[in-house]
Structure 1
Amino acid sequence: MANPAPTNAADDTDPARVAPDITNTTPENQAPTFRNQDQVWPHRVIRRGDAVRPLPPHARSLADLTFEVGGVRVGLSENMARRRTAGLLILKRGEIALERYGMGNGPESRWASMSTAKSITATLVGAALHDGAIGSLDDRCEQYLPRMRGSAYEGVTIRNLLRMCSGVAWREENDADGRSEDYRLGKAMVSRRPGSVLDLLCKLPRAQPQGVVFNYSTGESCLIGALVVAATGRPLADYCAEKIWGPAGMEADGYWQLESEGGMELAGFGVSARLRDFGRFGQLVLEDGEAFSGRPVLPPGWRDLAGQPDSAPTGFGRLMPGSPAGYGYHWWAVPPLPGGVNNGAFAANGAFGQFIFVNPTEQVVIALQSAWRQPRDSDAAVENIAMIRAAVSALRTEPPS
């Protein structure tokens, strides 16, 4: 069922093996860098709770799973080696159908989340709404962050921030001339200056009315994180520990990168955690925030609200040219197909092949950690989608008696 490879921890003890820039690594230091972001960035610990949610073995093992890509039959070992997979966990009804590791990882390895952390941040909005710390998703962001008054974000609702439809200008691509907002975000991070991220966001111009155009923005996610901190009066990592890490039954502490020593969490990325704990997060969302202890931490119906498009600009096929996906509240919605096994599913996606897939209809959660050699790899993505479809289909049938 499980295939825990050694973690090669001895290779990670030398800080020189961790690149200072997670987006600029070599094939040799990429995995140690993804494993050890706490060595190079200030961070806050996301404390685990008192009880660990068990993940028992599922009756059907997917150890022999194969799938077809481009007319060629592929096995898991070949897929993982070719796509530099560091961890693959497949859960059915909260039970492990497959758990495998690569790239020197093992069950105790923590791995960088990249943008899958955006979905954690959005889930904390749901928790704050459930707690009453946030009154309504249609509240304007400056009600919680007076600092945004006078900026292009003044008047933008929390809902449109979650949809990434603020209308505020942002270019996510890290362009060569250094003028993109994403590049400027990186410069703000490197400065390690408290408040540098919000300072950048306050200077951005308006490009569209809010609610009209989808525009993917890591800055928007950082703003949402700051809003949750302001609403709850708690550091984001502490609130995450109370509302996600403890209720989901995480087995280990996580880390959340900060913009400066003791500063704000970088809410658009920056969470490092074990593979099983990313799987437990997906399971908490699949179960609509019903903690395994029975205590709800999200508003009823949050899963289906957050996991599917609820506006024209975020509808299926509307996000960007050539993409059939839709967008919920910081979750990518899987396009429905006639008779498709993944209808109603959604996923958290992160650079270099990080993935948390939630399929409520089939009761499947898949957590995938990777070390692609570039932030986006369309061939690897197609292969992983084929693997996920095959896994969900295989788990539909009862195991032989």
Structure 2
Amino acid sequence: MRGIGTGIATALALALAGCATTPQSRPVASPSVDTAKLQQVGAAILFWDQAKRDATFPAMETVFPGNVVKRGRRVHSLPAGTPLPIDAATVDAFMAQNNTAGLIVVQDGKVRLERYARGYSASGRYTSFSVAKSFTSTLVGAAIKDGYIKSVEEPVTKYIPELAGSGYDGVSIAQLLTMTSGVKWNEDYTDPKSDVAGMYLRPVPAGMDPTIAYMRTLPRDTPPGQKWVYKTGETNLIGVLVSKATKKSLASYLSEKVWQPFGMEQDAFWMVDQSGQDIGGCCLSVALRDYARMGVLVLGGGKGVVAPGWFAAATAPKADVGRPGFGYGYQWWTYPDARYGAQGIFGQSILIDPKRRIVIAMSSAWPKATGPDLSAARAAFQQKLIDAAVR
């Protein structure tokens, strides 16, 4: 499926190089990091060897600057449920063949299967890549509940006036969320001239956010609402919009609205760009059980966290992605049988099956960023897990 991951990896270092500004919450990475080396490392993420992926995906804060998403004192319990009736050898084989480091299955709020490999453990956290998009979307729902944003039908330019006179004139927040803005964008990860590879290369006017500086230069391709095109840059823009509306960093707002009140077990880590802005489209590192808790939160409707009906709207298919039975909501992928989920390159995923009250979260280090063979193998295994859960 096109756009299954995030292209931010190809330009990550450019987004992070020169992080001399102090993040709004406690930084994790060393402030003495060599930014020239950082640029090299970030640009090479797609081409790290397997040993580098295994070592760094669970420890991105040792390489990149970012903000902490602080947990609270209370932990949302995930008690043990009846063990999933699936052969351990089948699970082990899938995890080994697909370089899966963490797998958890939660049904009705209880853990039915939890497994770690490749040096990962329950006490660690793992990068999300584009799974972060669904967390950023959730903060829009929270901002509407809190009154910072009135409605997704409002124009983007109300909250980011710097976009006035650009291709984003007349584009609503909803169209940004569904990636149907009509603004022209190239997400080709292999093209050095693509937007996703070059969005942080241009000089940024003094005092302007680097994402806004680039996105306002893009031309209109189609009328808003007519065509879906996967755009990591637009999720970054959503992150900027939330920060502007709330006057808070994404990390601090996520802590306030989700991590502390819902009871996430561990702090999370969110990478920042060169201005200190959390990267809305990527790069949130979270513990496996907390990825599962996010699924539990969504299944429960997010009462007290997001506006009423937010998750029902966010996880409904709103854009045609060109594949029968599949679609795109508010930064959530939608699948056949009313399932939905979050996805990121190299095998990161949260799958939610509302009919069966099941959440399946996976953290992986696939041998390549994405591919139909890898996606098909994951989907087939997820179905095996669901079939086992309903026996």
Count residues with an aligned counterpart. Answer: 353
Greater RCO, CA 8 A, separation 6+? 2
**Does 1:392 pair with 2:386?**
yes
Return 5+ residue gaps in structure 2 as ranges. 1-32
Change in 2 beyond 3 A, CA 1:271/1:188? farther
Query: Who is 2:305 aligned against?
Result: 297
Q: How do 1:187-266 and structure 2 match up within 5 A?
A: 187=201, 195-260=209-274, 263-266=276-279
- AA of the residue aligned to 1:140: P
**Equivalent residues of 2:86, 2:388 under 8 A apart:** no
**Equivalent residues of 1:19, 1:29 under 8 A apart:** no
Q: How do 1:148-167 and structure 2 match up within 5 A?
A: 148-167=163-182
Q: How far apart, in 2, do the equivalents of 1:145 and 1:79 lie?
A: 45
Partner deviation per Cα, 1:54-98 (whole Å, 9 max, x = no partner)? 1111123345268xxxxxxxx111110000001001000111111
Deviation at 1:116, TM superposition (A): 0.4
Q: How far apart, in 2, do the equivalents of 1:212 and 1:223 lie?
A: 20
**Does 1:169 pair with 2:171?**
no
Deviation at 1:19, TM superposition (A): 4.5
Q: How far apart, in 2, do the equivalents of 1:167 and 1:62 lie?
A: 47
Deviation at 1:385, TM superposition (A): 1.0
Q: How far apart, in 1, do the equivalents of 2:268 and 2:240 lie?
A: 19
Match of 1:225, SS?
helix
Change in 2 beyond 3 A, CA 1:152/1:238? same
Query: Who is 1:380 aligned against?
Result: 374
Match of 2:67, SS?
strand
**Does 1:360 pair with 2:362?**
no
**Does 1:278 pair with 2:278?**
no
Match of 2:46, SS?
coil
Q: How far apart, in 2, do the equivalents of 1:81 and 1:388 lie?
A: 15
Deviation at 1:175, TM superposition (A): 3.4
Deviation at 1:154, TM superposition (A): 2.1
- State the TM-score, normalizing by the size of structure 2: 0.85
Q: 1:137 aligns with which of 149, 152, 157?
A: 152
Q: How far apart, in 1, do the equivalents of 2:254 and 2:193 lie?
A: 33
Deviation at 1:207, TM superposition (A): 0.6
**Does 1:328 pair with 2:329?**
yes
Match of 2:385, SS?
helix
**Does 1:106 pair with 2:100?**
no
Match of 2:377, SS?
helix
Q: How far apart, in 1, do the equivalents of 2:136 and 2:78 lie?
A: 24
Percent identity among equivalent residues? 36
Change in 2 beyond 3 A, CA 1:104/1:194? farther
What's the Cα RMSD here?
2.3
- State the TM-score, normalizing by the size of structure 1: 0.83
Q: How far apart, in 2, do the equivalents of 1:353 and 1:327 lie?
A: 18
Return 5+ residue gaps in structure 1 as ranges. 1-14, 67-74, 291-295, 336-342
Query: Who is 2:20 aligned against?
Result: none
